[in-house]
Amino acid sequence: RGWTRYAGRPPGAPRAGAGRWLAVHLSWRGAGLLDALAGEPPRAEPARLAQLLRGVGGDAGDARAVLSRLGLGEPDWERLCRLKALCAEELQVHGECKAMWLPGLLPGSVACCMEWRGPIFSAWHALARASPEPRFRFCELFAGVGGFRLGLEPLGGRCVFACDSNKVARETYQQNFAGADCRAELLGDVRTVDTRDVPEFDLLTAGFPCQSFTKYNPRAQGLGCQGGRLVFQVVRFLRDRQPAAALLENVPGLLTVRGGDDFQAVLSALRGAGYAVGWRCVDARHFVPQQRVRVYIACVRRDLHQARELPCSGVAVADGGGESVLRWPDLAPNLWKAGGRAGRCLEEILEPEGSVADAHALTEAQWAAVTAHEGGEARARWRRLLRPAAWACTLRSSYRRDWVYASQFVSRGEGRTPRFLTPRECARLMGFPDRFRMGVRKDADRSFYALVGNAVVPAVIEAVGAPLLEAAGK
């Protein structure tokens, strides 16, 4: 999976004359290291693999057996052959070639990317150590535009690491959260992050990708595809770093995809990492004017697991289970009588009538396509126009793209085509503050629809995060 220069000192290697190592990333499980220069062979070297790499004894069957014991598969065979060829070349030139297997060495580790990742992690570590001392520190995987952070900072938390594979999401996050004193950048693919490089943290958060689990994807394969298996990166971080707690979020389809077996596999993996695990489906309309049911998985490290569950009431909890890891928020069953934020409705987040640019209006052709799909204009207006005194349906990442089938619109009066929600209205629909900026690119408004549709509702994160932190002793 690539070659990088290894800047560290392998376990067991002498401090002096350690040589210049080349890391050959055969798999996500680790890397083979080569050093053709001076120094004693590392004491931690798996002898048989080193012999095979140097071409000493054995045949193809032996090499495959060694790969299997290291957790590698047939696709790594070609890379091993290239590695052996390089060893043979170094033997001819220098008369020796040391080799070893280093488990867990990822291609994006600081040891392999010192020049450009070293300063980034140094900035995160500096932020983690900055005064004043926070109530807790948290790490965001699949951070998106920062919905978890917006919900956890009011509780006294400090983000000490964040990553997301979407470049536009990282730019938007950076625009909103980069401090003047410490510009800690987000990293990309979580699979390349070595957990040992990340600062200490108390809480791990992850809104892992939902495309493999959502009911709106007819080809959803759950854990049967690469995107679905990204949830196990969360397990890797928990297993390696053992934070006090974790909070995960995903779509309700996670519960049922592939007959529910995948959800049980996820819960089993989290428990296997050393955590007590509970889950609930919570509807965000208790906090924002939007019906948005999501699964929240709460994990507390077993040695800290002491809290007792307070049963929830009302329509907010569609389902739930697992262990009693925290006191879940008791959400009122009657939203309209609950008062406060539970009584919010759409008219609070809409721009004043007549103040929205015509660029947000549907064209005549677009509205005609919608009415045809719904079976007439009267039915289309009844089903697809938002009611200011009510809630919106779930805001999806495909809003403004999937307008024929799913998007809801704002009426502009009789005789005029309706309009789309503006990016700012969508942000308000998720509970994002008006100070939140929507990106730096020229097409930022368009791309923000997808980003905010994939986000979490900060108010829900705050409501669930508070008792979770209490259960974890924070």
Separation CA 221–CA 359 (nearest Å): 37
By annotation, the residues acting in catalysis are: 210
Beta-strand ranges (E) seen in 36-164 are 98-103, 136-141, 157-162
Cis peptide before 243 (omega within 30 of 0): no
Q: Compute the half-sphere exposure of residue 448: CA atoms within 13 Å on the CB side of its CA.
A: 23
Separation CA 216–CA 201 (nearest Å): 35
Separation CA 319–CA 7 (nearest Å): 50
CB 87 within 8 A of CB 79: no
What phi, psi does 257 have (nearest 5°)? -60, 140
Residue 323 Cα to chain centre, angstroms? 24
Hey, which residues does 297 pair with through a beta bridge?
248, 279
Cβ-proximal residues to 349 (8 Å cutoff; 6+ apart), any chain: 289, 425, 428, 429
Orientation angle between helical segments 261-272 and 231-241, nearest 10 degrees: 10
CB 146 within 8 A of CB 173: yes
Q: Which residue has the tokens 């997808």?
A: 450
Tokens of 428: 């308000």
Q: Which residue has the tokens 């693919």?
A: 189
Tokens of 338: 């609950």
